[in-house]
Structure 1
Amino acid sequence: MIFDSGSPIGIFDSGIGGLSVLRHIHALLPEENLLYISDAAYVPYGEKSEQEITARCMLIAQYLFARGVKALVVACNTATAASIQKLRAAYPEHIIIGLEPGLKPAAACSNNHVVGVLATQRTLQSEKYQRLRDQLIQENQTRFVAQACIGLVNLIEQTDMDADELQQLLCSYLQVIADAGADTLVLGCTHYPFVRENIENVYASLRPGLAAATIIDTGIAVAQHLQRLLIQKQLQSQRTAEDPAQSGSIAAYTTGDVTHLRSMLDKLLQLNNCPASALPLPG
């Protein structure tokens, strides 16, 4: 596949969560064309087997590389843990960036060495997560209090951020972390930044009188890493230099409800004119 600096960047997730990564990429690299896939027919990945997740990731990667993307961002912690090595082995000539929970920055900034990790069950069970956790425990004597947030992705997909059910679920998941005294919280799923304010408020209510917890969202770091690799491989779009007023395009696709994706682009990213289309993938 031939691609150059004008080729698009592919980004995908099981639903709308990866939009939290897309917004950081678009803010840092506004000149780039972005293709986003929401695999909503299979949301959430965190409750699927590793084999199912990997099969979906390979299928979506195949589609995006056939579209000529110059880089692929796996904007999902669960999908990264399950498939990133297989994706890189299958497409060694491409830039492929995955996500992992921000355990390193969390350990570095925690004052009391107690870090709460909110993630999907599949991410927390992954060898990648457990290996990094054990390494940091040994190096920094950091205690990680992990909480599998079953059902949270589905509620965020419904986008009623003030729903009582959402608040109750967050309270139940954050209570054990508050009891452990964590002063830092890792948002270990790309859906969770969309309820960051809810998480901050609920956590503060469980720790009255204490300083606000530090929140770790790795979306910014992913965008910065992507920029470094594009520059290194001389693939960063040059249109900004040629026409500073011109910005890149964003096109979104979904294996689920197009109307829902369109409304999420409007509501979460204020991308009112972003085209959204159905993507019929086999499987």
Structure 2
Amino acid sequence: MSVPENAPLLFFDSGVGGLSILGPARETLPNAPIVYAADRAGFPYGTKSEAEIAARVPALLGRLVERYRPRLAVIACNTASTIALAAVRSALDIPVVGTVPAIKPAALQSKSRVIGVLGTDATVRQPYVDRLAAEHGADCIILRHGSAALVALAEAKLRGEPLDPAVARDALAGLFDQPGGDRMDVVVLACTHFPLVQPELEAASLRPLVFTHGGPGIARRIAYLTQGQSWPAARQEGIAVFTRLDPDVEALRPALMDYGLTRIEGL
């Protein structure tokens, strides 16, 4: 079945974290029409229960697909992906790409065989992470830490607000202070918000670390799943849609425009 060239790629997250996934995708497919959806009414996901997320995410994505008719959807959120990806795929009739912690590439890079996984509280406790660790890092010590404060820091950064360096220090301390943390050499940024504050994490680290996340790999996956499809001849105006419009959304406008999202709508 042919796909209309103006059919967009849909990116979905609780907030602005998915921009770290959108960025590499736009570099790979520069003329792709984009709809970026942020569930501000449900933000943050990392402190919610699995049942809340499992009920909320498929319903919202169903509404978004009905409105925007995308060719493909990306759940640009580790928490939502580790909990609701299977349910979303069964509910939608388009390809759905999830975002999962980049433990496989981290294990390939680690020399010390001690890897940190920095995510939300909801992500780091998921059995999905256990399976990734067993499959790709069986010979590694996998340290995990959840930080809701680091999610808030990323949102504040994109609103242009002053940042407290103690937030990044505390997040890394949650890994360094665990047994084996002194040998950790790679940190998986297992929340899509966290690559947005990678410079702050690097500045706060006690020593050099390798930080890795799933953005480039997801861009390659999107390109693979859409190969042979038609795209517009020129770069398109992107749409940012929010489940709640509030003053913080307007404060995000300059950052959204940096990612080509020039229109803001409510859902």
Shift of 1:228: 0.5
In the TM superposition, residue 152 of structure 1 has moved relative to its aligned partner by 2.0
Match of 1:225 in 2: 221
Change (3 A) 1:123 1:266: same
Q: Is the 8 A contact 1:265 1:272 kept in 2?
A: no
Cα 1:6–1:268 change in 2 (3 A) is closer
Residue 238 of structure 1 is aligned with which of 213, 228, 231? 231
- Number of positions where the alignment pairs a residue of Structure 1 with one of Structure 2: 262
Q: 1:135 to 1:161 in 2, by over 3 A?
A: farther
TM-score, normalised relative to structure 2: 0.89
AA matched with 2:73: L
Distance change in 2, residues 1:238/1:276 (3 Å): closer
Q: Output one character per residue of 1:119-154: Cα deviation in whole Å (capped at 9) or x when no partner.
A: 11111111211111122343xx11111111133212
Task: Work out whether residues 256 and 262 of structure 2, in 8 Å CA contact, stay in contact via their aligned partners in 1.
Answer: no
- Over the aligned positions, Cα root-mean-square deviation in angstroms equals 2.2
**Partner Cα separation in structure 1 for residue 259 and residue 81 of structure 2:** 26
Look up the equivalent residue of 1:129 and give its one-letter code: V
8 Å contact kept, 2:123–2:129: yes
Give distance in 2, aligned partners of 1:155 and 1:189.
12
Q: Is the 8 A contact 2:114 2:181 kept in 1?
A: no
Distance 1:172 1:125, change over 3 A: same
| Aligned position for 1:189 | 191
1:125 maps to 125
Q: After the TM superposition, which of the residue ranges 253-262 and 28-37 deviates more from structure 2?
A: 253-262
Distance across 1 between alignment mates of 2:256 and 2:236: 19
Q: In structure 1, what is the equivalent of residue 84 of structure 2? A: 83
Q: Which of 237, 247, 252 is 1:264 aligned to?
A: 252
Kept in 1, the 8 Å contact 2:143–2:181? The answer is no
Measured in 2, the distance between the counterparts of 1:9 and 1:273 equals 13
Change (3 A) 1:273 1:19: closer
Q: Which residue of 1 aligns with 2:163?
A: 162
Alignment equivalent of 1:146, drawn from 144, 147, 165: 144
Contact 2:165 2:204 in 1 (8 A): no
Q: Indicate the residue corresponding to 2:201 in structure 1.
A: 199
Q: Which string of whole-angstrom CA distances, capped at 9 and with x for unpartnered residues, describes residues 91-119 of structure 1?
A: 2x311000101000000011111111101
The corresponding residue for 1:73 is 74
Provide the rounded CA distance (Å) in 2 between the counterparts of 1:60 and 1:83: 12
Per the TM alignment, residue 190 of structure 1 is displaced from its structure 2 partner at its CA by 0.4
**1:243 aligns to what?**
none
**Distance in 1 separating the partners of 2:265 and 2:237:** 15
Q: Indicate conservation of the 8 Å contact 1:258/1:278, yes or no.
A: no
Aligned residue in 2 for 1:9? 9
Unaligned runs of 5+ in 1: 241-245
- State the secondary structure of the residue aligned to 1:116: strand
Shift, 1:265, TM fit: 4.4
Distance 2:220 2:237 in 1: 19
**Alpha-carbon offset, residue 174 of structure 1:** 4.5
Structure 1 counterpart SS, 2:262: coil
What is aligned with 2:103? 103
Q: Would you say 1:255 and 2:243 are equivalent positions?
A: yes
Pair 1:104–1:196, CA change in 2 (3 A)? same
SS at match of 1:46: coil
